Structure 1
């Protein structure tokens, strides 16, 4: 599986040159598809996409539309996958939980008093949430009770990450992936769990205004959504290094590659 292969390749590269740079290889781009937030769902072997309308869309891992749901929320700005369904946010502080058929699990609520302009959202293996906002530019870890466990400001990074829009995490390497849109570098930032910048990959060759990111971990397939560019780009991705000793829980293997 990918975890063993990745460990071997990273170890070999590190022993040869001392440090490695993450690899990203473009596969294809789906045009005329707005994707402002993306989340991989191992239980249904697909990716959920928010397009800043009331609808969310489920695609197969190779881009075929499987399901389209009306969330009853006026606009979905970000979303992430949980065990029983989805957590969605409108970008103004309101969150809702839905099952995978679009039925409400609970009433609208606030995940944390500190969250308003939620651009990207990812539920981590320990139950906490990785969140990015762009005003101010920050990456946070939020506990299930809403308390702030980590707060890092992107404009202090080198290079600065001034407009973070989407966030996900690779359970094998432990690295956090964030996309910065056109008001920033229009790039993919690869970060260690403490916010150390591992690599930055420009994305302008593939689309305009990067806003969503998701990873299918067992295959290393990376999805990046472009807002103004109305496109969904698909890549093969390999991390710079491992920043955790033990892989995180990632859910079942997908039946399709």
Structure 2
């Protein structure tokens, strides 16, 4: 049976409208599976998972393991999907591109001089990257050449987002989804492109220490990875509101749901 969750949010925002209440529905949880960063890939109809080891895992949208390989880094802290494969980061400022079979495309490099503690990573439809870091707490947009296009600090949000760990974006609504871990609210933040807080959904009923988030937009299936909770939870999700005039490119249709 699906479990209904209505988020509790703090009223009285200073510079932004009070966040609405978001509803998500829990489908199931894959236990004993650590997922610190996750990314949906429509081309292979799967979910890429980093577990802060040297390995990257590909799961089906149902949670079945399809592929596992050594990423060539001692630790993979975050990852995202690109046209040619996946981009991984070690959380110490170093990035690397791999094919979907795990072959290196390039040598390790710096995506931007401002990035070190990269906790979450998502390539947007225009090729730029959404990045979250937790020290300090910030959400950034980085151009492919490393230029910082946007920098928002979670301590200025209402309610505050103090430990952002994972980030993705819904191409239909344009909303940005960020998970805040146990040192923060252990919650899902739904943000407008300018950082306005739309909703905050507590996740503690489903796992401990939320660190990864991904969305299958065709089905509204949301995946949240819990680090210390060692679990991958699957939800039905829909946006609180539409914040862009034209939907973004979401890539090819996935054959399965």
| Paired residues of 1:21 and 1:239 also in contact (CA < 8 A) | no
> 1:160 Cα shift?
0.3
Secondary structure of the residue aligned to 2:178 is strand
**4+ long deviations beyond 3 Å:** none
Secondary structure of the residue aligned to 1:155 is helix
- The RMSD of aligned alpha carbons is 0.8
The residue number in structure 1 matching 2:216 is 216
> 1:21 Cα shift?
3.5
**1:80-159 to 2 correspondences below 5 Å:** 80-159=80-159
- Per-residue CA shift, 1:78-111, capped at 9, x if unaligned? 0000000000000000000000000000110000
Secondary structure of the residue aligned to 1:131 is strand
**1:38-117 to 2 correspondences below 5 Å:** 38-117=38-117
Secondary structure of the residue aligned to 1:168 is strand
Q: Which has the higher helix share?
A: 1
| Paired residues of 1:99 and 1:105 also in contact (CA < 8 A) | yes
The residue number in structure 2 matching 1:162 is 162
- Per-residue CA shift, 1:190-223, capped at 9, x if unaligned? 0000000000000000000000000000000000
TM-score, normalization by structure 1? 0.92
In 1, the alpha carbon distance for the partners of 2:239 and 2:20 equals 9
| Paired residues of 1:165 and 1:181 also in contact (CA < 8 A) | yes
The residue number in structure 2 matching 1:13 is none
- Per-residue CA shift, 1:24-54, capped at 9, x if unaligned? 1000000000000000001000000000000
- Per-residue CA shift, 1:201-253, capped at 9, x if unaligned? 00000000000000000000000000000000000001100000111001111
In 2, the alpha carbon distance for the partners of 1:254 and 1:128 equals 23
The residue number in structure 2 matching 1:226 is 226
The residue number in structure 1 matching 2:13 is none
In 2, the alpha carbon distance for the partners of 1:133 and 1:21 equals 25
TM-score, normalization by structure 2? 0.92
